Amino acid sequence: MKTSKKILKNLKTLGVVSLLTINTYSFDITHQLKPNGTFETTALSNSCSTMQDTSFSSLCNSALMPLSEQQAVSISVVGKSDGDSIDNGRDLIFDPISEELIRKLFEEKNFNSFTFNSNIIFKTSLFEINYTPYYLIADLYLFNPVFPEISLHAVNRETLRLTRGWTLIGDKEKFQTDWFLSMGTSAYYYKHSTANNVFSLFDLSFNPPESLISFENEYGAAGDLAFFFMTPYKFWPKFSLQFKNLGSKITRNKAANESAVQQSPYLLFEPYMTFGLGQEFSTFLGRLDFNLEMFHSYSDDSLFIENLTLGSRYTINLFSIYLGLSSYYQNFALRFDSETFKVGIGYAREEDMRRFQPTVENSVYTGVEISL
């Protein structure tokens, strides 16, 4: 009793501190497509940690593994296939550059990003092995029309992940009618190649591009720890708590400390936590899931409300409609699921630079998954 009172007091303090902390910003960059992400997690803006019994549940929250009985080997790819960044990239690379394009790039679309992820997943009822041969991101920020410079952040990450879940309280057969608490862990090995450079148009004109971009490799291991809690009461939400990237050597502040124009990845590779609330409803036609997720990175103090994300999914037989909403991301996506083949297309409005993004970027994501 005394212990639980103490815990509650600590949680309250944590919540108040998070609400009242002062904003401090460096040049933060984040992405909806996370290192362990798929089309579904992206479409939901990663707000999915209480959506159990889906094909992506264990990727969202490893504590949902005990509630999933799926066993499969699958290959999935997801990436940005169209949108402002793709158009700008195409115009820049394949056509003669016009003054209108240059002006557009500086005044409106000076941030362009490209993302891609691939997964090979071996899933059993006891554990899951996930190999990501390529997780690629490339962020280009063009600035200062007086003496143009480009801030480039590129990542090529390879991971091998082992995920396992345990039921702590309750029984998975009776989880909807009884108290249920589960825990999940992931341990993964990563090879992280990153380039974070700033160079001028002048440098680019007189030097080959490969000499301006230098990749650094880092190898390591890290893990996730997750919890999922459900009550037998219908109107109580489901709860989740996750600690991501524990032990990761990839930090944010090194890049941020060096220069205001160097990009600092945020809520991607560094340790951070999430807290989720969700509920599901069965309807006449299908199933409706809601999830509210709060993200908090330990490397800076950010406003609680800015990282609040709502994810929603409505499933009707083989079709699913996804919705993701937050201050900086709005998504709408459709997915078609067959037994062996899943394909999805999603439209997103993104502000990867968060409050520093001059205009919203329109993107299209495409995801394909094949189950063997």
Partner 1 sequence: MIRNKITILLATLLFVFSCMKKERSEPIENQTKFEIIEALNQGDSDRALSLALKGQRENPNDFEYYYFEAQAYSQKASVDVYSLFPLMKMEIFDVAVTEWKKQEEFEKRQKSRLQTNLLGESEEIDTSDLDEVNKKIQSTPAEDFPIELSELEQFHYTYVDENGLEVKEEQQFYCAYYLDISSPLFVYDEPMKEVVYIDKENVEDSCNSERNKEKVEAEVARIKERSKYTAKQNALSMVDRKRELVKERTYEQRYAKAFFALFDSIPILREAPTLTFENAENAILALRKLNIILNQSNIPDRLKNNTTHQMRLLSSYLIIGSYKNTTNLDGVSEVTDLICLIEPKQATSHYRYFLYGARFFMKSMRDSDLAKKNQENYIEYSQIINDAPEELTEEQIEDFEEDTQKFKNSRGC
Binding site for partner 1 (CB under 8 A): 3, 7, 24-27, 92-99, 102-103, 106-107, 110, 143-149, 168-169, 181, 183, 198, 200-203, 205-206, 225, 227, 243, 246-247, 251-253, 256-257, 259-261, 264, 271, 273, 298-301, 356, 358
DSSP letter for 106, please.
H
Burial 39-49 (b: 16+ CB within 10 A, else e): bbbbbbbbbbb
Distance in Å, CB of 338 to partner 1, minimum = 39
Count CB atoms within 10 A of the CB of residue 225: 16
- Which residues lie below 8 Å from residue 272, measured CB to CB, with a gap of 6+? 244, 245, 295, 296, 297, 298
Chain centre distance of CA 236: 26
Q: Tokens for 18, please give them.
A: 């998070």
Our CB check for partner 1 shows the closer of 20 and 285 to be 20
Distance in Å, CB of 258 to partner 1, minimum = 8
Distance in Å, CB of 38 to partner 1, minimum = 25
Distance in Å, CB of 92 to partner 1, minimum = 6
Q: Tokens for 177, please give them.
A: 């009618």
Our CB check for partner 1 shows the closer of 191 and 254 to be 254
Our CB check for partner 1 shows the closer of 121 and 140 to be 140
Our CB check for partner 1 shows the closer of 96 and 233 to be 96
- Which residues lie below 8 Å from residue 66, measured CB to CB, with a gap of 6+? 165, 166, 167, 172, 182, 184
Distance in Å, CB of 120 to partner 1, minimum = 29
Our CB check for partner 1 shows the closer of 6 and 134 to be 6
Strands of the chain (E only): list them: 28-29, 72-83, 111-123, 127-143, 149-169, 180-200, 216-230, 238-246, 264-265, 272-282, 287-297, 308-316, 319-326, 329-337, 341-350, 361-371
Our CB check for partner 1 shows the closer of 249 and 349 to be 249
What is the phi/psi pair of residue 218, to 5°? -135, 140
Our CB check for partner 1 shows the closer of 64 and 121 to be 64
Distance in Å, CB of 76 to partner 1, minimum = 29
Distance in Å, CB of 3 to partner 1, minimum = 7
The interaxial angle of helices 99-107 and 84-94, nearest 10 deg, is 140
Our CB check for partner 1 shows the closer of 253 and 340 to be 253
What letter represents residue 231's amino acid? T
Distance in Å, CB of 344 to partner 1, minimum = 32
